Structure 1
Amino acid sequence: MMMPFVPLPLDQADVDYAYGPDSLARRGVQPGSIEEIRIDTSTRFPGTSRTVWVHRPAGLPTSAECAVMFFNDGWWYLDPDGDVRGATVLDNLSAAGELPPMVSVFVDAGVLNVDAVPMKHRNAEYDSFGEAYGSFLLEEVLPLIEHRFAVSPDPMMRGICGGSSGGNAAVTAAWCRPDGIGRVIGFNASFAQMPGGNPFPALLKTEPPRPTRIFLHAAHRDLNWNAPQDNWFAENLETAAALARAGYDFRLVVGDGGHSPNHGGVLLPDALRWLWAGAAR
């Protein structure tokens, strides 16, 4: 494949990437439907409430067995005018037959009501290492989707995507619940701020390889990119290197710019294509 020439930017920090055609509403593509669901109680995260949006591409019968894709940070990833534009991307790829029949679930992080003051529960859910968040998705959110659609029971027909803390949450959910999630996209993952440090390079050295398919993205000028500690860029590279040494089916894309959602949003169409290659209808 011959790739077009693209000059490297000299300023690696102040970089924005242009969106491709798959991130723009396309003439002739019918938008999918979006259903909003409120979750006001939780077993895994007591006291939290949140909103979930379910995207169903046009023409998908509710009775047809389908894949499911979770997106962390809910509306922020779904918003057609935002940095990621998830609904627009899913509509375009689904219409082109480049994804398997799929419903996508955009899950907001929880909110705690502390003395009538709403407090974000995002970092507590996303940055911690353990099965809590993955189990929340599979045991508390997924049943709501299975009530509406014929979701495949195959873990390799279930994926998850997130950026920043949502990126390490995506990797953690699939790692701790490989019985339920088999495909992962992590943009600018914040492995560096996980309590106790990034566990994945050490785990990947000692644990048997899993069938998990992983797409990672790192930004060359991410937070503390040239610091000896708490280095967002280095932790992504070290996780990718450990995946390579362990023989995983993974892909790493490194871009310029800082800790921004821009490049991940631009990459989303191709990240989804790569992630679901071989599973498309």
Structure 2
Amino acid sequence: MSVPVPFRPLPRGTEGVTYEHGPDSSRLPGVPAGETIEMLWAQSAVYPGTSRRVWVHVPAHEGSAPVAALVVFNDGWWYLDPAGEVRGAVVLDNLVHQGDIPFTIGVFVEPGVVVGAEQPKNRNVEYDAFDDRYATFLVDEIVPMVTARYAVTDDPGRWVVCGGSSGGNAAFTAAWMRPDRFRSAVCFLSSFAQMPGGNPYPDLLARSARKPLRFFLQAGHRDLNWNAPARNWLAENLRVGAALVEAGYDARLVLGDGGHSPNHGGVLLPDALRWALAPPA
């Protein structure tokens, strides 16, 4: 059935375009706030010498918490910050309360910091690599911190990994490497263009057997190097989106007019989670 979309005029120029958040990205009357706890992880075997903060958000519930679906958010605080563009915990509270998604715990994971290093930020090492380290780190180190406290479903169809920019291709790679755990990835403005050795996915998708995965991608007309012949964020996202549908994947690509900003992805997050956590057709 066709879904009517209200008319909105197209901006004449695309410099400085921002999108207005919908109601699910703000605290709604009558929706109780869930509980967010902060933890520190400094014993990584996958990324030795790193330390990072992790926040776990549990929507409000009566009695013991139900068995939960799981959404892992890369770039933890950027995606948790209730005054930011994404507001992940606020969105989870609203969607769970409305029954739009199952009871879902959000895990907001900061990139690692190498303690005592001259260049301590480990974000690009973790997020832009094409290997299974980050997926292993999430599954073997971070998720057990959550399951030690809360009941989480073992159904990979209810596990989602989400991120933007380098965190977007990290989400894609985590699902690609571990489809036994993450069956959906939500990827905003993914930095496929800066992966060491180049973007592997258009070729890999074309020659690999289809995996049981679903992908929600967002790209921007004015993303980094949008009109450049190389390291073009827009072009690489379009290539991945095309390769996904050509390979028969259940995938959505939303194209906006903004630049390299979390704004549009944040606006889309409620619908992206509804899509990612919907029961299989």
Q: Match of 2:181? A: 180
Cα distance in 2 for partners of 1:61, 1:182 equals 29
CA-to-aligned-CA distance 1:86-113 (integer Å, 9 cap, x gap): 1111111110001112111000000012
| Residue 112 (1) aligns with residue 111 (2) | no
2:157 touches 2:277 (CA, 8 Å); kept in 1?
no
* Residue segments in structure 2 that go unaligned for 5+ positions in a row: none
Cα distance in 2 for partners of 1:223, 1:60 equals 45
1:213–1:42 CA distance, 2 compared to 1 (3 A) = same
Tell me the matched-pair count.
Answer: 278
2:92 touches 2:104 (CA, 8 Å); kept in 1?
no
Cα distance in 1 for partners of 2:188, 2:14 equals 17
Listed as ranges, the matches of 1:62-81 within 5 Å are 62=64, 64-81=66-83
Q: Match of 2:30? A: 28
Which of 4, 13, 16 is 1:14 aligned to? 16
How big is the shift at 1:9?
1.0
1:149–1:62 CA distance, 2 compared to 1 (3 A) = farther
Cα distance in 2 for partners of 1:174, 1:243 equals 14
The percentage of aligned residue pairs carrying the same residue is 55
Q: Match of 2:220? A: 219
Cα distance in 1 for partners of 2:82, 2:189 equals 21
How big is the shift at 1:65?
2.1
RMSD across aligned positions (CA): 1.3
SS in 1 for 2:68: strand
Q: Match of 2:95? A: 93
Q: Match of 2:260? A: 259
Amino acid paired to 2:269: L
How big is the shift at 1:13?
2.5
SS in 2 for 1:203: helix
| Residue 274 (1) aligns with residue 275 (2) | yes
Structure 1 length-normalised TM: 0.96
Amino acid paired to 1:69: V
How big is the shift at 1:51?
0.5
Cα distance in 2 for partners of 1:126, 1:13 equals 28
1:62 touches 1:150 (CA, 8 Å); kept in 2?
no
2:124 touches 2:166 (CA, 8 Å); kept in 1?
yes
Cα distance in 1 for partners of 2:25, 2:67 equals 26
Cα distance in 2 for partners of 1:277, 1:113 equals 40
CA-to-aligned-CA distance 1:226-254 (integer Å, 9 cap, x gap): 11110000000000000000000010000
How big is the shift at 1:61?
5.5
CA-to-aligned-CA distance 1:33-81 (integer Å, 9 cap, x gap): 0011110120000000001000101006556322111000001100100
Listed as ranges, the matches of 1:174-253 within 5 Å are 174-253=175-254
Amino acid paired to 1:141: I
Structure 1 segments (4+ residues) deviating >3 Å = 60-63
Cα distance in 2 for partners of 1:60, 1:129 equals 42
How big is the shift at 1:278?
2.0
